[in-house]
């Protein structure tokens, strides 16, 4: 599904040049659950942003489903992104002015899913995440765990091939964090590919492989459990 070769990302200002990614080679197969670990500033979130087509690489190659996407225009990247990727963030990134229902529905408006199908998908997800009773509430009326469940529902409502999760349990207590990890593991068991950045060894071991980064480079890769 994903293959990069000598992927690099350099940020430049008039006085400073910072190499966030330094010739990174990674490969992620369809159906895998891969965790990325490393200290703050090692490049793991930058890698997630480039692989999620939020940012473009400075050099190197990035293939997604066999297509070189690193050099696509923002418009074309956006089109690939909205039809194939779902994002889960540490800070939830829900829209405060929209209800739970409207937040989950939003990605389908961009992909022009018919209203009847939108209603069906949103209600199924809210039931499955045990948050249907909060459908008309706004994000600030929810607990952190509830907000993250809404964020996961929003990420998967368009049935993406790949979910990118950036510290999805970082703002949650252990019980709610465990619940979110079990949801991600269940999605993976149903065939969704997951790439997750985390500082937690416990969370990382929900995946089948752990990539460790340091100073913008991949330093180790460890198999946690066999990929089926």
Predicted local confidence at residue 130, as pLDDT: 87
pLDDT tens digits along 132-143: 999 999 999 999
What is the pLDDT, as a whole number, of residue 14?
Answer: 82
pLDDT at 226: 63
Edge-first strand listing for the sheet containing 85-89:
85-89, 162-166, 193-197, 33-37, 209-214, 217-223
What residue has token string 């369809």? 30
Element (H, E) at 147: helix 144-156
Give the residue from 214, 211, 65 showing the smallest Cα distance to 222: 211
- CA triplet 113, 164, 170: central angle to 5 degrees? 120
Question: Which of the 8 DSSP states describes residue 170?
Answer: T
H/E stretch holding 221 reads strand 217-223
Tell me the per-residue pLDDT of 145-202, one tens digit each, with 9 for 90 and over.
899 989 999 999 999 999 999 999 988 888 888 988 999 999 999 999 999 999 999 9
> Which residue did the predictor score with more confidence, 35 or 82?
35
- What is the residue-averaged pLDDT of the chain? 92
Q: What does residue 18 show for φ and ψ, rounded to 5 degrees?
A: -120, 125
Give me the pLDDT at residue 15, please: 84
């Amino acid at each position: 599904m994903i293959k990069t070769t000598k992927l690099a990302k350099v940020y430049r200002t008039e006085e400073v040049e910072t190499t966030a990614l330094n010739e990174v080679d990674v490969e992620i197969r369809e159906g895998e659950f891969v965790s990325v670990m490393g200290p703050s500033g090692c490049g793991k979130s930058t890698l997630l942003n480039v692989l999620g087509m939020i940012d473009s690489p400075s050099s190197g190659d990035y293939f997604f489903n066999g297509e070189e996407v690193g050099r696509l225009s923002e418009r074309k990247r956006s089109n690939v992104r909205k039809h194939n990727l779902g994002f889960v963030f540490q800070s939830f990134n829900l829209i405060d002015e929209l209800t739970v229902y409207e937040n989950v529905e939003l990605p389908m408006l961009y992909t022009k899913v018919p209203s009847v199908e939108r209603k069906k998908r949103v209600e199924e997800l809210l039931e499955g995440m045990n948050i249907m009773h909060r459908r008309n509430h706004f994000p600030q009326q929810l607990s952190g765990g509830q907000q993250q469940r809404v964020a996961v529902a929003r990420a998967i409502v368009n049935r993406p091939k790949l979910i990118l999760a950036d510290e999805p349990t970082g703002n949650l207590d252990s019980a709610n964090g465990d619940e979110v990890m079990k949801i991600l593991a269940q999605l993976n068991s149903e065939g969704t590919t997951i790439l997750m950045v985390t500082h937690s060894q416990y969370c990382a071991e929900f995946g089948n492989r752990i990539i460790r980064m340091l100073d913008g480079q991949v330093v180790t890769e460890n198999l946690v459990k066999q990929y089926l």
